[in-house]
């Protein structure tokens, strides 16, 4: 047997004695010789007296097999007893420099926060349409430009040379078409003869006997040939003009033009960089109207309707809350995450920027009715022996360590307090 005794009475002795007595009451009737907390043959009525006397007289009442079990139970109960007592630092005033926050009372329940990202209402990425070297950039990130302003330009010397060659081809085709028209007119009015005698003796009577005059069939053939030359010249002109139009289109592609009034969000290249088709050059967006883009669990989408108001919580310094409106619900869910993308319009002038975090409060049909709960910063909670506690500022400016019962998180920085605090109290925000 290993003796276990307590020889010194502390300020908590009487509470510990009461706990030990309760343990004796719980384990006095159904014990055996090898698993008993107290020896056999002891009257249950005297369990508490035996426990108390054993503590102060040093008598052996525990077996080696049950000593560890009792020690664990006793430690847990002592922690609970100590935690249940409001430990007041009455001798010390609260640190005047410590930051305190009031306990908030919020209407919680029926709504769940869904995180999202602030995005512009209009946003485009200007990409390279052909290979080349960057020759011009209008500005840097944050610069505002009107619609139609050239934002980025590529080297266009080669295309300009090809354009001049196409213009020369057009001029040649036009001259060829004019010549074909003149030849057709001459052939129609004064057909040319192939007989040498007709050239020196017009109206030679022997021509009809030797076949010198053109027949009607031959003349039609000559006229048709001249018409074909006109058509070929016209087609050549059209081809040259098409080449010029193609070059002009490529010249337009060397310039990235602002499609609307907006701001440069991101610049991917600098002057002198060589780019290939499809390579992004600049992100351009209209940031006057912003949206919250969130991936909403599919089970919550049925309660959303276009144009309905909804509360949004912004991640600015003041944790601003604004009234947003549902702008767009995507028709298909993500097959991997089982969420549906939804966009919410924010009111103009909201203190946020693209890329910032925001939350929208969406009604959850599976959550019961809402109620008012105390809410404190998560940084205010301290853990003692695995139990959540908080330092409360009393009316006399002293601090008190108080045990709490916590609920779910409201957002990234706040948590619900089910019991232990009321709305008119103050707590330390960052206890040491």
| pLDDT tens for each residue of 215-263 | 677 777 777 777 888 888 888 888 888 889 889 988 988 999 999 999 9
Question: In terms of Cα–Cα distance, which of 352, 363, 270 is closest to 316?
Answer: 352
Q: Are 222 and 244 in the same domain?
A: yes
Residue 397: what pLDDT? 87
Residue 144: what pLDDT? 93
Residue 66: what pLDDT? 53
Question: In terms of Cα–Cα distance, which of 277, 314, 283 is closest to 124?
Answer: 283
pLDDT over 70, % of the chain: 69
Residue 323: what pLDDT? 92
- Domain extent for 315: 111-121+283-363
Q: Are 341 and 302 in the same domain?
A: yes
pLDDT: which is higher, 322 or 54: 322
Residue 73: what pLDDT? 62
From 363, 381, 400, give the residue that closes a domain. 363
Residue 120: what pLDDT? 93
Residue 175: what pLDDT? 84
Alpha-carbon distances of 428 from 204, 383, 402, rounded to whole Å: 128, 14, 12
Q: 99-108, 363-372, 399-408: which range is least confident on average?
A: 363-372
Longest Cα pair distance anywhere in the chain, in angstroms? 165
Indicate whether 240 belongs to any domain.
Answer: yes
Indicate whether 58 belongs to any domain.
Answer: yes
Structure confidence at residue 76 as a pLDDT band (50, 70, 90): low
Query: Is residue 278 scored above 80 in pLDDT?
Result: yes
Q: Are 185 and 314 in the same domain?
A: no
pLDDT: which is higher, 216 or 361: 361
Q: Are 169 and 241 in the same domain?
A: yes
- Number of domains comprising the chain: 5
From 363, 379, 409, give the residue that closes a domain. 363
Q: 86-90, 98-102, 339-343, 394-398: which range is least confident on average?
A: 86-90
> Rounded mean pLDDT of the chain?
75
Q: Could you tell me where the beta strands, DSSP code E, fall in 59-215?
A: 87-93, 100-102, 104-108, 111-127, 132-137, 144-145, 150-154
**Cα separation, 426 vs 377, whole angstroms:** 11
Q: Are 176 and 212 in the same domain?
A: yes
Query: Is residue 325 scored above 90 in pLDDT?
Result: yes
Indicate whether 216 belongs to any domain.
Answer: yes
Q: Are 132 and 171 in the same domain?
A: no
Residue 94: what pLDDT? 43
Provide the CATH number for the domain around residue 275.
2.40.50.100
């Amino acid at each position: 047997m290993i003796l276990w005794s307590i020889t010194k009475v502390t300020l908590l002795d009487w509470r510990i004695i009461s706990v030990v007595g309760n343990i004796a009451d719980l384990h006095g009737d159904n014990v055996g010789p090898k698993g008993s907390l107290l020896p056999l043959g002891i009257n249950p009525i005297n369990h508490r007296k035996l426990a108390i006397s054993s503590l102060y007289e040093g008598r052996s009442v525990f077996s080696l097999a049950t000593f560890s079990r009792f020690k664990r139970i006793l430690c847990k109960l002592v922690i609970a007893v100590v935690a249940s007592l409001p430990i007041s630092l009455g001798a010390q005033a609260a640190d005047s420099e410590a930051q305190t926050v009031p306990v908030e009372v919020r209407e919680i329940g029926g709504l769940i926060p869904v995180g999202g990202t602030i995005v512009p209402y209009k946003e485009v990425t200007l990409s390279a349409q052909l290979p080349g070297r960057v020759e011009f950039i209008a500005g840097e990130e944050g610069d505002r430009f009107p619609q139609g302003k050239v934002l980025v330009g590529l080297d266009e010397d080669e295309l300009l040379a090809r354009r001049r060659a196409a213009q020369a081809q057009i001029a040649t085709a036009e001259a060829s078409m004019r010549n074909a028209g003149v030849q057709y007119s001459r052939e129609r009015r004064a057909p040319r003869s192939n007989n040498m005698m007709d050239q020196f003796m017009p109206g030679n009577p022997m021509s009809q006997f030797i076949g010198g005059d053109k027949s009607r069939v031959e003349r039609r053939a000559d006229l048709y040939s001249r018409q074909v030359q006109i058509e070929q010249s016209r087609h050549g002109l059209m081809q040259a003009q098409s080449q010029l139009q193609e070059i002009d289109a490529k010249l337009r592609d060397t310039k990235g033009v602002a499609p609307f009034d907006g701001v440069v969000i991101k610049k991917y290249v600098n002057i002198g960089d060589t780019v290939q088709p499809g390579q992004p050059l600049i992100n351009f967006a209209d940031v006057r109207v912003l949206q919250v883009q969130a991936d909403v669990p599919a089970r919550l989408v049925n309660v959303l309707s276009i144009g309905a108001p909804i509360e949004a919580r912004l991640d600015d310094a003041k944790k601003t809350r604004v009234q947003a409106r549902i702008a767009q619900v995507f028709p298909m869910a993500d097959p991997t995450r089982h969420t549906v993308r939804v966009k919410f319009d924010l009111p103009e002038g909201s203190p946020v920027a693209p890329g910032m975090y925001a939350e929208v409060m969406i009604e959850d049909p599976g959550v019961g009715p809402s109620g008012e709960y105390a809410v404190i910063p998560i940084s205010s909670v301290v853990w003692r022996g695995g139990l959540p506690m908080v330092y409360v500022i009393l009316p006399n400016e002293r601090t008190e360590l108080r045990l709490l019962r916590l609920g779910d998180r409201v957002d990234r920085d706040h948590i619900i307090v089910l019991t232990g605090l009321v709305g008119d109290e103050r707590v330390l925000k960052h206890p040491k």
